[in-house]
Amino acid sequence: MSVIRGLRLTLSGVTAMAALSVAMAGPAAASPLPNKTGQPQPVSGQVAPSALLSTPRVAAAPAATGNCGGYSSDSTPPSSIRVLRYAQHTSVGAPVPGTEIGVVNVPFQEYVKDVLPSEWVTSWQSASLQAGAMAVKTYAWYWVNNWRGGSYNGSCYNVDDSINYQRYIPGSSTAVTNSAVQSTWNSVMTKNGSVFQASYQATLTGSPSEVCGTGLSRYPNTLSQWGSQNCALAGHSWQSIVGAYYPGLSIGGSAGAAKSPVSMDAGATHVAFIDGSGSVANDWVSNGAWQGPSGLGGKARADSPVVLNASADHAFFIDADGNVMNDWVSNGAWQGPSAIGGKARPGSPIATNAAGTLVAFVDTNGNLVNDWVSNRAWQGPSGLGGQPRGDSPLAFNAAGDHIFFIDGSGSVANDWVSNGAWQGPSGVGGTARAGSGLATDAAGTHVAFVDTNGNLANDWVSNGAWQGPSGLGGQPRGDSPLAFNAAGDHIFFIDGSGSVANDWVSNGAWQGPSGIGGTARAGSGLATDAAGTHVAFVDTNGNLANDWVSNGAWQGPSGLGGTSR
């Protein structure tokens, strides 16, 4: 696979901060930066300025067979990475041959935290650092999965600690870069379902002041480090930045991370979640107080959502074999689980209607499909229409005659029922950023999502036609779900600081955002009731928590019961 690797942003004898001021002088200042590729560099580490940005470096192809460490997952980051350490490096970070120390096993997140400040300028905007964290993580992960055959003294290694791969300096992590790594850790970038070589370099045009997203015609699928900063200064989110430089990527949640779905019924008397053992569980209200948790039935796949219907007598999830499953209430007690029909692809969402008689998901071929109840028995699956993007949520309206998703081009799309048959898909308006949440109201006449600039946006129906998109207010965190109340006049999300927040309609216009109470951990689910007066999420300690309205004001958060996965 041909790929250009990164250009170091620190110069010989110059700190990153000094490099920042030097490079801002103009295109000529960028020329001394050494090229950092997947191939070994000369001992000097220098690259002729004329060849710096005009001659792509090509990484050696991965070995056709074999593996170093036996790891191959594209959904869960490796726990560690094998690094060949050198005792000496040139001033720009190239290895000095003959100074090999040996191969060490480094915790993967620790490795990423110690690489990022050597590759990005730590004073840059947080969105740039987050984009860099994703690139550093994904590039290293690719080489864990795709061994190039490197070994030293009989020990294989995935990467070395030099600019041959990424500059790894143990103990060099900083608070600001650690925050960028931690805030994006639950997100996974893939193309066609696989982790890819997320190449990056200093600029794509030779100028540190290049406009966001320019230069890709010269260096396709390559993140510009200076470009990421310029994108961030222009107000772009990290998802928008990586989406611009790595076209066709999908951003999903890590199956091994704290993906913590929650679902609330219409009356705010039940909240379903998946506990630390993977079991489907429930908190409920009795005598005015929250009780639980208690298991409903069955264990969910690591990436499975859990979804309650409006009356909380059905709970849907995906089991370890990919089967779409159902727990249900009979004679006042939970029964199940039982398969309802079909297998869901990795990362598939689930959506149900208010009655819990229709369940939509994405099958193993990537098609949007549906199971349904007829004559008291589950039928299906059957295709609805279209192929959702790899990271697309699904949102049913209450009647189950409209289903919303994000298609492969990022457009917000809709299938609908006409004359008893599913029609579509058709775009409703706007393009969603990678990792965007998605929500609709009970009528299916409002759809909220996050646009490519990271803003919370809304499409709506007027005079029988879709209008929009238009901004609502605020920028949700990269992993934030969205939750509409039934009337579509309150939308809940998790903001960039992790606070649970709310936009609302007053005098016919959207207001907000405003925090309602509490901080949600990375990967937290989010759910509200029909009235939009209760909101459930997972707090930073992993506990299931709730905000609620009393005397016209938001209260909380307060624990409900139990600890989420």
Interval 217-269: pLDDT, tens: 999 999 999 999 999 999 888 888 999 999 988 876 654 444 689 999 999 99
Closest CA to 203 of 94, 53, 98: 53
User: Which string of DSSP letters, residue by residue, matches 154-216?
Assistant: TEE-SEESSTTS----TT---HHHHHHHHHHTTEEEEBTTB-----EES-SSS-TTPPTTTTT
Please say whether the dihedral angle defined by the alpha carbons of residues 416, 438, 397 and 388, taken in this order, is positive or negative.
positive
What is the Cβ-side half-sphere exposure of residue 119, based on CA atoms within 13 angstroms? 41
Cα–Cα distance, 159 to 163 (Å, whole number): 10
Q: Strand order in 358-362's β-sheet?
A: 350-352, 358-362, 368-374, 377-383
Give Cβ neighbours of residue 446 (< 8 Å, ≥ 6 apart).
440, 458, 459, 460, 461, 484, 488
What are the backbone angles phi and psi of residue 454, rounded to the nearest 5°? 85, 10
Q: Strand order in 323-330's β-sheet?
A: 306-308, 314-318, 323-330, 333-343
Distances (CA, A) of 460 to 20, 29, 280, 416, 433: 45, 49, 34, 15, 19
Between 126-145 and 225-233, two packed helices, what is the crossing angle to 10 degrees?
Answer: 140
What's the pLDDT score for residue 65?
54
519: three-class secondary structure by DSSP: strand
What's the pLDDT score for residue 27?
29
Cα–Cα distance, 404 to 395 (Å, whole number): 5
Cα–Cα distance, 184 to 291 (Å, whole number): 33
For residue 97 the two structure tokens come to: 């041959």
Give Cβ neighbours of residue 555 (< 8 Å, ≥ 6 apart).
517, 547, 548, 549
What's the pLDDT score for residue 456?
95
What's the pLDDT score for residue 66?
67
Cα–Cα distance, 381 to 360 (Å, whole number): 9
Cα–Cα distance, 351 to 400 (Å, whole number): 9
Give me the residues of the chain with pLDDT under 50, please: 1-8, 10-64, 255-258
Give, rounded to a whole angstrom, the gap between the first and last alpha carbons of the chain: 37
What's the pLDDT score for residue 254?
53
Number of neighbours of residue 377 by Cβ within 10 angstroms: 9
What's the pLDDT score for residue 147?
92
